[in-house]
Structure 1
Amino acid sequence: MAWSSSWSPTSCSTGPARVALAATVLGLRAVAAAATALLLRRVVTTPFGVVRRARRDRPPRPWFALLVPAGPAAVGGYFPLLRWLERHDVQEPLPYLPLLVFAGGLAALVGTVLAAGWFSYAAGRLLHRLARGPAALLAARRLTADPWAGSRTFAALLAAVLFGGGAAAHRAYFQARYAAELAEARTFGDVTSAGDTFYLDTIGLVDLAVAVAVTIAAGGLLVALVEGIVARRRAYAALVAQGVPRGVLGRSVAWQALAPVVPAVLLALTVGLLLGRFLAGPVSTSTVDGAKRYVMPGVPLEELALVGAGAVAAVALTVAVGLLFLRASTTVEELRAT
């Protein structure tokens, strides 16, 4: 075989195209500038350096009630649509069906994150109506004043919990399939078959990745919590100077963090379970007469409880660590003019 004499090192490029590289470099800056302008559209800076955010009088709308069911519905329609195309000898539109599943998962995730804002406002209204202690009342006022803080703070945690719920659903599916393979092998006389545990071992790695993601999200929660305490240190110092105990302030911060996260974690677990269940589908087994039998995997309550309890425990531990900064931020010196 002879090499072509027209080949040269410059005839094939190993790097990205110049147009694509320029579009990426400029596009990232344009997207960052647009996002910054969108986030700062309600921020006003006075000549004295005081930054105020315009207050939103309108409470959060429950838009998540439209996005959350739309996600599992889009994912759940994937396999029925695929079987319908096979029965009617229609070629599968490859680019569109995976995009449908991706769009459904993204809609479910966005709806779950938006639900944290609505849960914060609803928890604040409920605490304001039913609570009798000063800590819960302070937390209620903070939750209703800035309900979207939950969506900003718990976004990464809720995403990790949602993936954890999906991983638990897939683990239940692979366990059911493993048991069905063993039963099928024994039905046909193969008593030496031990089944394939490859997928179960893989799901173990996914669980480890979810645990790492929850840990990283807890670190972000700690940073956001400490930043919030430091930003409101003058208000906290004024309350302490007026006679409010620091323990009341600490319990109010705990109420503010835990009240919206518990229902949001439950919603994320439910959505993740539905997405995983619809993606995996039922387990098919063959009987002696050759007929197909479909078995639906059970609900993995233990795995779901472990993921949910781990997420709530991570938030509680974050609050406990963040409260260590409360005493240093509520000294009388914080009230002095600078």
Structure 2
Amino acid sequence: MDTELKRQVFDTEQVPAADRFGLWLDMLASTPGLMRVRTEHADNFVARSEFLDLGPMQLVRHRYPSLDGIRTRKLIQRSDADYYVLALTLAGTGIAGQDGQRGVCRPGDFTFYDCARPQELSHRGEDGDQPLRSIVAFIPYGAVPLANRRLAPLFAGRMSGTEGIGALLADYLIRLTNHPEQYHAADAERLGAVGLDLVSTLLGRHLVSEDAVPTEVRRRALLAQVRSHVRQYLGDAALSPQSIADAHHISVRSLHRLFEAEETTVAAYIRDERLARCRRDLADPALGDLPIQLVAGRWGFRDKAHFSRAFRAAYAETPQAYRARHREPARIVNTAASGVNSGGTY
């Protein structure tokens, strides 16, 4: 039986107020991001951190009050320093500093560090009582296919998480950390690999030359971006290989080549995703009164006959039969419930 992703939660509210800041510091000492932290909330440090193990990458979703941190050379010697840190600010404003470079990160911004170098940070909110939130990824040196010396210009800089590859990566991290229970432990390595491809491509985009990123890494990241675009516009009947290629500034031929290694075609991927959404809606009791033609139309199928043929070819039954089969258990339950209620009136 599948188990959920491996995760660990540190919640300072599980201990008395006087012990909360100490618990947080102990947690921090167990990570590659060991820092000396100062805060005005040391007497009652209400914070929570949830760790997700994704094999080659570890994610931490943090919630904490305003703080300042510094990582010195002595602290570096006391911790595992062969890591990079990519941090996404979700709430509050962060000021990062490393190697003489400084960046200001607001909600939706990424910043990037090298754990083997001294660094400083400050995270503040506009409202002093509002908790600050961030997602941090710890990434081993060897998991990033880019030379450390080439990455140096990015340390402590700001990278947008609201557009392009940055938006796709931000959405990926937020979805994973919001609902880790939806993923299986067996998927951890693959989820981590997808995340690393997106991280490497984001870093490559912010370097002088994106060619620093290996071709296969860029291909997989572009494929993830295309798939996300398709899922976003499934309901648009005009979605096509041409519109997808135009949205990603590539040729239709390049788009088709992108899918060759996936043993499918662009059109087949769109069709399969649309059929999966239709099948989900047809089995949803809340949509039981919605005509099948409207279910198909909301996911981009304009022709009823074409939808029926495609659905039957994919699932070996008609949409009507599929919906009826998934309604049957509800009828049985309702009948039984009706019998119980009738018996109660005697």
Which of the two has greater strand per residue?
2
Structure (1 or 2) with the larger CA radius of gyration: 1
| Same fold, TM-score > 0.5, yes or no | no
**TM, length-normalised to structure 2:** 0.25
Q: Which has the higher contact order (CA 8 A, sep 6+)?
A: 1
Which of the two has greater helix per residue?
1
**TM, length-normalised to structure 1:** 0.26
